[in-house]
Structure 1
């Protein structure tokens, strides 16, 4: 062999029950050569009539029959190797990796073969005390029952007297005798309805008959193969013996179990395959107060689906899920969605739910709340996913008040630990452990979330909050004094929030770092000296505050700047420049009030400057100056929308330099200054 095989854990044997049409059967374990696979039809070992594909592949392969085995025929595929050593490594000779890997692969396969044979044997338990394994002689045991004596050794007994078992009296004072039939009816098993549990026979009808006939149904240890969806109706319970009780879908083409109503309980089961392992939706009634506990899902397309469905009167609310593992899903682990016009799945509770890819590819998310409102809560949940998955936890666009507490996210890929889609609101995240290589919180919601000890680099994010009383022992600003002895360039590293600067020794240039390297940073600069030397604020590789070099010309001048990553912006200061607009087109001019000063030329014809109504939202509180700038004889007339003008009259500016300054208080435009 040029490459070694990966020998997965398991028994190298698989059985099928033929349906008379299927010709291709899969074996899910590796073989080294075609002859390593034995093919049985019933008890007969086959040597012709089929072809083996996939030898040498770690994932296994297929057996294709020339003619489909008859309906009801048991098809057994098993790996069978001669137990022998095929390699010999010479003393001090070469030790090729391929030969060593091949030998170790075969040794592992042989051990699996022996272990598989032992699984079929009747044997003592590992913790049992020594006892004789010998049966009584054939002539002695003929027609007798096998039993064990007081030492635990095999012995024989005559057939049991059935009359002695007609009644049952439990131990304890006050106990009463009951017919054995009644006692046995206390627990209803799927095997009471014909289920076999060998992983081969289709047990669908038997399981569904049990769920229809009894309110509580037990699934004993075994593997129960189903070919259609089981329905767990209102108030019904289906429970098993843990991982030993397996319900396996024949394919991923259908959901394994539906809960279309409320107050049902599903627990203690291992569910394998399925388009969805369990789907909860309000088809027959409100899908509420269902309980799903101590379940594992293996290799479904989606593990758990909560569907708002089509009728708002039958919602999917208040369901409880605890101690659940979804392993190797191909799409999502847990999915909250809505396939019709029903309400969103709301107020469902998830505790200790874990989604684990186990290196299997998946295309979706560990948890995807696509649609859901009002306290869908996830406590102590975990997603450990395939590197190319979409997100460990995704909160979709139709969500409100999703609660995520103590979530564990992990992946070797760069997928988001938690993704918030645009449209999601009021998501609360507390104690997020983010071990995936992508962003801790990928926020596309516009900040519509609250985070406590979650995210990176900011660990906390609070929405609008009211603090009744906040005690801060000391609120300090780090302050740095800058005074070059002879002036010159000073590069600010923003290690302080406030810089007190002096240009007493000569002209000073304070140079800010590039805005993109200081996103979100705020800094205040104040001039302290009274000299005539200039003090300017500039930016490395950029235009500077508000796109220009800023000067602090006088003592006590200051400016506060904020970087948004694209530029430095002035947000406060005591010496801000004014802004003006020049207009020279005749006729009606309606200023937008975005400038303080409007210089208007009527050289080409008379101009009416019509101010907005004083009650307009963009006018209330505004002060504006209109000034005639040309020397011609045409008038500039200042009016207002609705008639009149400042102080209830149209103001005529007839000569160059004539101006009027007015302010709106919401009720009218009032003149603050006028020339003449």
Structure 2
């Protein structure tokens, strides 16, 4: 200080009412240092969020807030000095006027502070007649009200008459008389402990005090601002009157409500903001059999967290959730996780739990069972998410036997409905209505799940599935009618098994996808029109099934093909095109009967065509035609293995165009036609 301050007759207190815009507020009394200034918003002492200028100035200075206080908030600026002396004058030392002035200034300021405090206390008027200010003794005034006798001296009086203290009787037969005090103590209100519920005052300590003092704590309608976690302990009940009882976090770095033990009940509340709305973990004991119902969680990062924690002896099991709504979360709606060496959250039950983004972007999942083994059940639950979400319902790698029944999943984008991560085991999904544009079930588990009536519009994506005993009463094939306006190329989208194709408006090329993209898929293509235009079945490689284009020329011609991942193969057809073979240049030809018609040239010398034994597997039921194709005098002789030939004789074809058609019935080759 350039010169000592002067302590004038100015009260060390100043009040303002905020208008919502003003940030700077003057104080007209001097302070020695900025630490001497106390700042209150309403009744809440502030520890930051403002700066103090003008310390050491007789005329005072200014308190400037980082953000304007809300309109209507009372601002109190108060000089508060510690009652202490930390300096001494040295024996026989100098007594400079500056030092004496500073000491007297400080003492005068302390006296002003005492006088200001006395103004807020009850006291006698200066003109009052002398009276006693001595209170009755401790024992005499216990459970009594302060009163004054006829002389105006302090005395006591009963708080309530004795009859009134025992005057409550419940309705109905068998009710007993109780004191009103005991009746009112059945449920404590947070307002009994000083909570305000105006959304401005910090009600953290008041609510924590209520939870410390009472087993059942009620939250009346109001907005209760909290700046730290509210723990609801073993066997406690913490409840409100519905969505009008609001617990609002001031800060995003803490869980709003914590259930650290067992048998607690949390219900009929609205929880807003904070890192986590409700967290369950075995901090004080096993976190089991807690009940959370009729709760709304709004504007949190994650709505509900169940954490297996660090201690396997304090698991997070058998907790029950019903009618819980999580709205406008930014990460996860419901998250089951193990953050330490504890057990995974197991056997927890969720019924009618809804997670709704309501347009707020989220980066996580509606429900995320990151860790959870053995019978976590989600029944009649819903995840309705923004397009930025990861998944509506996500089952992580450390999971086993989780149950999902009658789920509703939705997003306006391509968010996956149910995502099964690699490592998840035996997830069961029943009645999934998947209204998101992503896959109904995105399986990375390798088929480690079962699904029934799961997905929309495609009910099930089972991927790798092994069926060892299957009884099918009815099999339905998805069918599509294809009628191009001008013929041309048709590329199927593989969502149907049967394609009925019309080539009435022009020839059609039905182009199958690459076989590697359709492994295991079977398609049936059938021509439906009377025109002379063909439907030709090809594939993306440029060939077709069995390595060649397959034409469907007549009405009702069809072909069924299947891909093994390397090629498309024909498994059935209405009428295969003629399949001829040609042999030339040998004395002996033994056909493998892969053809139905063989042209044989004996131009280079006489040729024997030796059919296989009629009992051979490749011969039974086969029909084959052998025809001489050359003009030479050399004969083509048709025999059979073991001797003889069709109808018991070797058949000689001596002229060009001579032919024989034979059929094996398994016992012999029989001639069906012969020329000559």
Q: Which runs of 5+ in 1 are unaligned?
A: 1-11, 26-47, 54-60, 73-159, 479-488, 500-509, 526-536, 553-557, 574-676
CA deviation after TM superposition for structure 1 residue 523, in Å: 5.0
Residues 215 and 13 of structure 1: is their aligned pair in 2 closer, same or farther, counting only changes over 3 Å? farther
Structure 2 residue aligned with 1:156:
none
Residues 274 and 550 of structure 1: is their aligned pair in 2 closer, same or farther, counting only changes over 3 Å? same
Q: Secondary structure at the match of 2:225?
A: strand
Residues 515 and 456 of structure 1: is their aligned pair in 2 closer, same or farther, counting only changes over 3 Å? farther
Equivalent of 1:513 in 511, 514, 536: 511
CA deviation after TM superposition for structure 1 residue 334, in Å: 0.6
Structure 2 residue aligned with 1:658:
none
CA contact (8 A) 1:19 1:71 kept: no
Structure 1 residue aligned with 2:308:
308
- Number of aligned pairs? 414
Aligned positions of 1:43-442 closer than 5 A: 70=77, 162=161, 165-170=164-169, 171-442=171-442
CA contact (8 A) 1:52 1:63 kept: no
Q: Report the Cα distance in structure 1 between the residues aligned to 2:421 and 2:78, rounded to whole angstroms.
A: 52
CA contact (8 A) 1:545 1:567 kept: no
Q: Report the Cα distance in structure 2 between the residues aligned to 1:496 and 1:229, rounded to whole angstroms.
A: 58
Residues 447 and 286 of structure 1: is their aligned pair in 2 closer, same or farther, counting only changes over 3 Å? same
Q: Report the Cα distance in structure 2 between the residues aligned to 1:203 and 1:445, rounded to whole angstroms.
A: 48
Residues 523 and 235 of structure 1: is their aligned pair in 2 closer, same or farther, counting only changes over 3 Å? same
CA contact (8 A) 1:300 1:329 kept: yes
Q: Secondary structure at the match of 1:406?
A: strand
Q: Report the Cα distance in structure 1 between the residues aligned to 2:234 and 2:570, rounded to whole angstroms.
A: 63
Moved more, 229-238 or 191-200: 191-200
CA deviation after TM superposition for structure 1 residue 369, in Å: 1.1
CA deviation after TM superposition for structure 1 residue 164, in Å: 5.7
Residues 204 and 522 of structure 1: is their aligned pair in 2 closer, same or farther, counting only changes over 3 Å? same
TM-score (norm 1): 0.53
Q: Report the Cα distance in structure 2 between the residues aligned to 1:539 and 1:560, rounded to whole angstroms.
A: 13
Residues 333 and 475 of structure 1: is their aligned pair in 2 closer, same or farther, counting only changes over 3 Å? closer
Give the structure with higher Rg (CA).
Answer: 2
Q: Report the Cα distance in structure 2 between the residues aligned to 1:364 and 1:326, rounded to whole angstroms.
A: 13
CA contact (8 A) 1:168 1:177 kept: yes
Q: Report the Cα distance in structure 2 between the residues aligned to 1:545 and 1:197, rounded to whole angstroms.
A: 76
Moved more, 333-342 or 516-525: 516-525
**CA offsets 1:265-305 (integer angstroms, 9 cap, x no match):** 11111111121111111222221111100111111111100
Q: Report the Cα distance in structure 2 between the residues aligned to 1:227 and 1:371, rounded to whole angstroms.
A: 30
Residues 71 and 456 of structure 1: is their aligned pair in 2 closer, same or farther, counting only changes over 3 Å? farther
Q: Report the Cα distance in structure 2 between the residues aligned to 1:281 and 1:169, rounded to whole angstroms.
A: 41
CA contact (8 A) 2:238 2:265 kept: yes
Q: Which runs of 5+ in 2 are unaligned?
A: 1-18, 22-40, 52-61, 80-158, 480-487, 501-507, 526-535, 552-557, 573-676
Q: Report the Cα distance in structure 2 between the residues aligned to 1:287 and 1:496, rounded to whole angstroms.
A: 52
CA deviation after TM superposition for structure 1 residue 476, in Å: 9.8
Aligned positions of 1:478-493 closer than 5 A: none
Q: Secondary structure at the match of 2:326?
A: strand
Residues 18 and 178 of structure 1: is their aligned pair in 2 closer, same or farther, counting only changes over 3 Å? closer
Q: Secondary structure at the match of 1:353?
A: strand
CA contact (8 A) 2:368 2:396 kept: yes
Q: Secondary structure at the match of 2:306?
A: strand
CA deviation after TM superposition for structure 1 residue 538, in Å: 7.2
CA contact (8 A) 1:288 1:318 kept: yes
Residues 540 and 342 of structure 1: is their aligned pair in 2 closer, same or farther, counting only changes over 3 Å? same
Residues 457 and 283 of structure 1: is their aligned pair in 2 closer, same or farther, counting only changes over 3 Å? same
Q: Report the Cα distance in structure 1 between the residues aligned to 2:473 and 2:167, rounded to whole angstroms.
A: 72
Q: Secondary structure at the match of 1:309?
A: coil
Aligned positions of 1:451-490 closer than 5 A: 451-460=451-460, 464=466, 470-472=472-474
**CA offsets 1:526-558 (integer angstroms, 9 cap, x no match):** xxxxxxxxxxx9733415469944999xxxxx9
Structure 2 residue aligned with 1:665:
none
Q: Report the Cα distance in structure 2 between the residues aligned to 1:456 and 1:332, rounded to whole angstroms.
A: 24
Structure 1 residue aligned with 2:46:
20
Q: Report the Cα distance in structure 1 between the residues aligned to 2:63 and 2:188, rounded to whole angstroms.
A: 45
Residues 386 and 49 of structure 1: is their aligned pair in 2 closer, same or farther, counting only changes over 3 Å? farther
**CA offsets 1:555-613 (integer angstroms, 9 cap, x no match):** xxx9974236x65344979xxxxxxxxxxxxxxxxxxxxxxxxxxxxxxxxxxxxxxxx
TM-score (norm 2): 0.53
Q: Report the Cα distance in structure 2 between the residues aligned to 1:187 and 1:224, rounded to whole angstroms.
A: 18
Structure 2 residue aligned with 1:568:
567
Residues 491 and 436 of structure 1: is their aligned pair in 2 closer, same or farther, counting only changes over 3 Å? closer
CA deviation after TM superposition for structure 1 residue 332, in Å: 0.9
Structure 1 residue aligned with 2:538:
539
CA contact (8 A) 1:18 1:69 kept: no
